[in-house]
Amino acid sequence: MQVVILESPEAVAEYGAHIFIRHLQKKPQAVLGLATGSTPVALYQKLIQANQQGDISFQDVTTYNLDEYLGLAGDHPQSYRYFMNQQLFDHIDINKANTFVPPGSASNPILACDEYEQMIEQSGGIDIQLLGIGRNGHIGFNEPSSGLLSRTRVKTLTQATIDDNARFFSADEYQPHLSITMGIGTIQDSQQVVLLATGSGKADAIYRTVEGPMSASCPASALQMHQNAVIVIDEEAAAQLEHKEFYKHIERENQTLLAQLGY
């Protein structure tokens, strides 16, 4: 795992966006895995800006989102499809027909999960998967106890996640407690994973992800087995890491090497 510790949430978004921008410049037909939640919003703003300045194009890009609430159609303001349109797709030159979010209103969600897996495979797999992390260590909606080799499936949300996400729903609004989510195995198949986390509320989850044992009780810890996982965090989210200074040292060495090689 590459652990990158930065001063501020702004720097985290900048670093993460840079990875996507560089990749899109090299591979305009990229397949991107995307996330919702509050963490990636600043990164999406930077991608929008880069697109509007003409630095990158999304015309040939395909996207797959991690998850969706089961029971919410894409035009529901709390659905993740709606979120993606608002936060990214409506502002870039992407063909929306090439943007995929698990279908929360599928008549047969079990079948829809298998189809989602097949679609990802037919697109050639995901080049870079963006992730946030829940305070309980979830990635996508893979809650603690999720199988570390799991595939896209219907998943029950924990009360902790329902409570964390209640802020997006008004008091009288129906809040789903089921989801469709890519599995941990699906995420692990991506060529690269970029996990962003900011704020002290994520410090324990980040500690368990990076330095804890690999365990289904912290689903993100499965990334310890990924060939190319980059964990980009601010100082607050890094607060509980025992080897913080070592990770900073490695990053400085990496940057020096990349500069020498002209990257």
Q: Does 229 bind ligand F6R (CB under 6 A)?
A: no
Q: Which of 31, 36, 208, 247 binds ligand F6R (CB under 6 A)?
A: 36
Q: What residue type is assigned to position 93 of the chain?
A: D
Longest Cα separation, the chain: 58
Among this protein's residues, is 254 annotated catalytic? no
Q: Does 9 bind ligand F6R (CB under 6 A)?
A: no
Residue 227 Cβ vs ligand F6R, minimum distance, rounded to whole Å: 21
Q: Does 33 bind ligand F6R (CB under 6 A)?
A: no
Strand residues in the chain grouped as ranges (E): 2-6, 31-34, 62-65, 67-69, 99-100, 128-131, 153-156, 178-181, 192-197, 229-234
| Beta carbon nearer to ligand F6R, 60 or 236 | 236
Among this protein's residues, is 136 annotated catalytic? yes
Q: Does 146 bind ligand F6R (CB under 6 A)?
A: no
Q: Does 35 bind ligand F6R (CB under 6 A)?
A: yes
Q: Cβ–Cβ contacts within 10 Å for residue 27, how many?
A: 13
Span from 22-30, 31-39, 56-64, 230-238 in contact with ligand F6R (CB under 6 A):
31-39
- DSSP helix/strand/coil, 181: strand
Residues 6+ apart with CB under 8 A from 202: 133, 135, 233, 236, 237
Among this protein's residues, is 204 annotated catalytic? no
Among this protein's residues, is 177 annotated catalytic? no
Q: Cβ–Cβ contacts within 10 Å for residue 73, how many?
A: 13
Q: Does 234 bind ligand F6R (CB under 6 A)?
A: no
| Beta carbon nearer to ligand F6R, 38 or 200 | 38
Question: Which tokens in the block code for residue 258?
Answer: 């990349």
Q: Active-site positions?
A: 67, 136, 138, 143
Residues that bind ligand F6R (CB under 6 A): 35-39, 66-67, 132-134, 138-140
